[in-house]
Amino acid sequence: MDSILQRAGELKQALSDYVLDAEGELATALEAFSAEQMKRSKQQDMHQRSLVIDRFIAEGYVENRTPIELFIEDQPDLTEDDRRIIQDWRRGFVGVFAVQRVYEDGFELMNWLTAKFYRVGFSSADNPAKMQRLQQDEIILTQIAPVYRQCWMFFSPPVQMGKLGKPKLAVAIGNFKDNYKNHLYSDAPELLAEAWKSVEKYHQEFTDFFGAAEIAMPGYQLNKKLAEFQEVMTQKRLAEAGIDDSKSLEELTAEAGVTQTEIEEAAVSMGADAKQVAQFFDGKGKAKMVAPKVDLPDRLKKAEQVTVLTHPRWGQVFLPTYHQFCSLLEAEDWTAVPNGSDLVHRYLRDPEVPAFVWYHLAQAYPQQLETVLRSVLDRPELDLKNGLDALLQEFDKSTDTELPEIASVPIHLHNLFQEAIQELSKDKGKEKSKGKRKTGAGF
């Protein structure tokens, strides 16, 4: 195995040199891929740039071909074993890993996003002395790739995050979700499929409850209706999990093997009924994924009117000015609408107005929207029917669907986030009590 890992390291170095030294279409594709990834990411350090190059090697394209295919084609002396190793690197992925065990020749890592374990060995491309500084329970961000059967290698130098407590680990995973959306469940297609199904299910349940995929009402009223909606969803989940909601809390806690206090604390932290929390302790619960709670921000709770749009792929969006935008499009003379041009520019630039909102508007007001955009952008030749995607991409709006926030998450991640919230709540409580004692002592 050591010899295979050493050879894998040599091949990785050769492939990296090949990509970095390339000219023409390969160089152009690398530059475009790097620019797009760096634009999306909030991290701009050397580790990030190195990871972007390694990601391009594993997942990039030069027209319809991959860098790996081009490399193999240009290296006729490669053996069949070499080709197999290199081709398998397309299965590589980026993740937030916890170091479970430290060995002389590598590590056992757990991908925190999917709770899957990997035996990762050192290759000739690694710096063993630097690698051996990693300690058990440390969190790292890295890209790994398969080498042989159950053995994997580091495809990118790991970024050390230290031994993180639950609140900081939750933040790290949240940042990963923002920066590496297409790597969320890349080694667990079954979880990804469940997450997408949950989005479709949420959309259907939302439209069944509210009667439409687009609704509008005052913020305070919407907040109440969302609470009612989530209570209905909770009851359905309890029934699906095989939990009898007619049982008392005492009966549920006895079956779950936990105390009533523990159930109540978990329920308060989740903002849910205690029976809902019981399903996470009940042996009859079969769900692998948990739906996140939808919280309406305070600014929307106070809004005069909030429009909600839901979609089975794009998810859900809350817009306090959507009715104003529609009124602008419905006006006989849109230029007479106060601040109309500013509103259009804001919708183009605001990341909280995703592409699907524009698709919705274009379907409802095709001619009016085209007329307004031609004037606001000073583009009299703009063809919205054929040019909307290009326009949205120009304003950094992704035209590809990405897993929305309403998607269910694996239970182990859900529990991590809830425990992180509990720890933060306890810390805040301690700070408040300390503050009260200091006040009483005359400080």
pLDDT for the residue 236? 80
Close Cβ partners of 85 (under 8 Å, ≥ 6 residues apart): 4, 7, 8, 11, 147, 148
* 320-373 pLDDT, tens digit each: 999 999 999 999 999 999 999 999 999 999 999 999 999 999 999 999 999 999
Nearest to 178 by CA among 60, 50, 292, 39: 39
Give 293's DSSP letter: P
pLDDT for the residue 181? 86
Point out the residues of the chain with pLDDT beneath 70.
Answer: 1, 40-47, 128-129, 240-287, 427-443
pLDDT for the residue 256? 57
DSSP 300-357: HHT-S-EEEEEETTTEEEEETTHHHHHHHHHSSSGGGSTTHHHHHHHHHH-TTS-HHH
Does the pTM of the predicted model rise above 0.75? yes
Is the separation of the CB atoms in 281 and 258 below 8 Å?
Answer: yes
* Sequence-ordered strand ranges (E) for 149-293: 151-154, 159-162, 214-217, 289-290
pLDDT for the residue 295? 81
The C-alpha atoms of residue 308 and residue 327 are separated, in whole angstroms, by 16
Here the tokens at position 129 are 């002395």
pLDDT for the residue 421? 85
pLDDT for the residue 428? 65
- Kindly list the domain boundaries of the chain, sorted by start residue: 2-182, 194-229+293-407
151-154/116-121 β-pairing? parallel
The C-alpha atoms of residue 381 and residue 361 are separated, in whole angstroms, by 19
Nearest to 18 by CA among 72, 65, 64: 72
Is the separation of the CB atoms in 259 and 250 below 8 Å?
Answer: no
306-311/159-162 β-pairing? unpaired
